[in-house]
């Protein structure tokens, strides 16, 4: 019988945890750098096999610091995702070398758009990364009369909503309905609507993010309500913009957004918005990235 050492190494993958300085916390992602040509079906099958929330496939460009990326979750390809991009940039930083303490800049182009990421490594090999999510879009505030319906869809009552803040749709690539709640409600929240995707679509949103703005701490689920996300980078930029717009953060004031407590994988997302309440210019989302493992795919799924 052949040993593992005798098997051909087809593709190398990196397992990292994003938004945590230590392994086995934060949001895990598999990162594959410069794989052979793969179809979307093959990438989807690899993602399902590895069983991370997402896998990011990165193709580096001829110019240093540039790459194209495709992100898949267990159901589909995503136009944009925050933590896979940060994880990919951290792996690029580690695998291409760089002096400790010297920042490196990356341009990573996704299906929806290109983004800028800055990475910096420490002497012990640890990497942190910051994504410039660009200028946010404020896509509408819900009428007060919609509060009870939104609360009920999340297993809450209207009294659980933080009435000092609006229900608002914000986007930095994906459209999130930000649902501010009072502290105790966060633990009780969960999707309780049979067609949550359709429900959110009526407000022009794709997803919902439940936020305790005082802490701040948030929660997010897949729209079927079955799977809770550990740390949602694409939503964190929306939260940064929301907090500045409504006077809960200042220009260039970094806040630490907590998520993942209810999944057993505590995460800290560094969020910053720039500008003024009336004109939010851009937002950044960052955090630590912990390396867990490097592995090999000895076989690839058949192209079909």
% of residues, the chain, pLDDT over 70: 97
> Three-state SS for 207?
strand
pLDDT digits (tens, 9 = 90+) for 237-294: 999 999 999 999 999 999 999 999 999 999 999 999 999 999 999 999 999 999 999 9
Residues 6 or more apart whose Cβ sits within 8 Å of residue 163:
none
Q: What value does the mean pLDDT take over residues 63-84?
A: 90
Q: Is the Cβ–Cβ distance between 230 and 53 less than 8 Å?
A: yes
Do 143 and 283 lie in a common domain?
Answer: yes
Do 9 and 86 lie in a common domain?
Answer: yes
| Sign of the C-alpha dihedral computed for residues 241, 225, 13 and 113 taken in this order | negative
Do 163 and 278 lie in a common domain?
Answer: yes
Do 116 and 163 lie in a common domain?
Answer: no
Q: How far is residue 45 from each of residues 40, 54, 77, 82, 226, measured CA to CA in Å? A: 9, 12, 11, 21, 21
Measure the CA–CA gap between 1 and 143, rounded to whole angstroms.
67
pLDDT band for position 5 (50/70/90)? Answer: low
How many structural domains does the chain have? 2
Residues 6 or more apart whose Cβ sits within 8 Å of residue 15:
28, 29, 30, 31, 52, 291, 292, 293, 294, 295
- Please say if 49 is a catalytic residue: no
Choose among 227, 247, 240: nearest CA to 273. Answer: 240
pLDDT digits (tens, 9 = 90+) for 184-239: 999 999 999 999 999 999 999 999 999 999 999 999 999 999 989 999 999 999 99
| Sign of the C-alpha dihedral computed for residues 121, 122, 125 and 131 taken in this order | negative
Does the residue 304 lie in any domain?
Answer: no
pLDDT of 6 strictly over 50: yes
Do 275 and 156 lie in a common domain?
Answer: yes
CB atoms within 10 A of CB 164: 12
Q: Which pLDDT does position 33 carry in this prediction? A: 96
Give the distance, in angstroms, between the CA of residue 45 and the centroid of all CA atoms in the same chain: 21
For the entire predicted model, the pTM comes to 0.90
Does the residue 11 lie in any domain?
Answer: yes
More confident position, 20 or 111: 20
Do 199 and 73 lie in a common domain?
Answer: no
Q: Which pLDDT does position 7 carry in this prediction? A: 62
| CATH number of residue 82's parent domain | 3.10.310.10
58-66: list long-range contacts, CB under 8 Å, 24+ apart. Answer: 58/31, 58/32, 58/33, 58/34, 58/88, 58/91, 58/92, 58/108, 59/34, 59/35, 60/33, 60/34, 60/92, 64/96, 65/104, 65/105, 65/106, 65/107, 66/106, 66/107, 66/108, 66/109
pLDDT of 147 strictly over 90: yes
Does the residue 302 lie in any domain?
Answer: no
Q: Which pLDDT does position 98 carry in this prediction? A: 73
**Full domain range(s) for residue 41:** 4-132+289-297
Do 20 and 161 lie in a common domain?
Answer: no
pLDDT of 52 strictly over 70: yes
Q: Is the Cβ–Cβ distance between 92 and 63 less than 8 Å?
A: no
Do 178 and 208 lie in a common domain?
Answer: yes
Active-site residue identified among 54, 168, 217, 228: 54
Residues 6 or more apart whose Cβ sits within 8 Å of residue 262:
187, 219, 228
Q: Which pLDDT does position 1 carry in this prediction? A: 45
Q: Which pLDDT does position 97 carry in this prediction? A: 82
pLDDT of 3 strictly over 60: no
Do 56 and 124 lie in a common domain?
Answer: yes
Do 141 and 258 lie in a common domain?
Answer: yes
Does the residue 303 lie in any domain?
Answer: no
Do 281 and 182 lie in a common domain?
Answer: yes
pLDDT of 129 strictly over 50: yes
Q: Which pLDDT does position 181 carry in this prediction? A: 98
Do 39 and 141 lie in a common domain?
Answer: no
Torsion of CA 25, 84, 175, 243, to 10 degrees: 50
Measure the CA–CA gap between 165 and 169, rounded to whole angstroms.
12
Question: What are phi and psi for residue 41, nearest 5 degrees?
Answer: -65, -45
């Amino acid at each position: 019988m052949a040993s593992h050492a005798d098997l051909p190494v087809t593709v190398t993958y990196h397992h990292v945890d994003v938004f945590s300085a230590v392994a086995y916390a934060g949001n895990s992602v598999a990162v594959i750098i410069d794989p052979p040509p793969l179809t979307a079906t093959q990438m989807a099958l690899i993602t399902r096999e590895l069983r991370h929330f997402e896998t990011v496939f990165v193709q580096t460009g001829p110019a240093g610091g540039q790459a194209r990326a495709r992100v898949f979750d267990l159901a589909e390809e995503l136009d944009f995702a925050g933590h896979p991009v940060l994880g990919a940039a951290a792996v690029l930083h580690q695998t291409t070398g760089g002096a400790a303490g010297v920042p490196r800049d990356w341009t990573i182009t996704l299906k929806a758009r290109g983004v800028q990421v800055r990475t910096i490594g420490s002497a012990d090999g640890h990497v942190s990364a910051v994504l410039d999510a660009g200028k946010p879009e404020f896509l509408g505030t819900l009428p007060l009369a919609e509060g009870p319906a939104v609360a009920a869809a999340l297993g809450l009552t209207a009294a659980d909503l933080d009435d000092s803040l609006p229900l608002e749709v914000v986007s930095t690539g994906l459209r999130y309905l930000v649902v501010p709640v009072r502290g105790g409600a966060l633990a009780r929240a969960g999707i309780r609507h049979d067609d949550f995707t359709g429900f959110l679509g009526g407000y022009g949103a794709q997803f919902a993010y439940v936020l305790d703005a005082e802490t701040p701490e948030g929660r997010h689920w897949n729209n079927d309500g079955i799977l809770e996300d550990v740390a949602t980078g694409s939503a964190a930029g929306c939260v940064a913009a929301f907090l500045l717009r409504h006077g809960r953060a200042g220009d260039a004031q970094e806040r630490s957004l907590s998520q993942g407590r209810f999944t057993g994988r505590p995460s800290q997302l560094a969020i910053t918005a720039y500008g003024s309440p009336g004109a939010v210019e851009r937002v950044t989302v960052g955090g630590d990235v912990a390396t867990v493992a490097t592995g090999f795919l000895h076989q690839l799924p058949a192209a079909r």
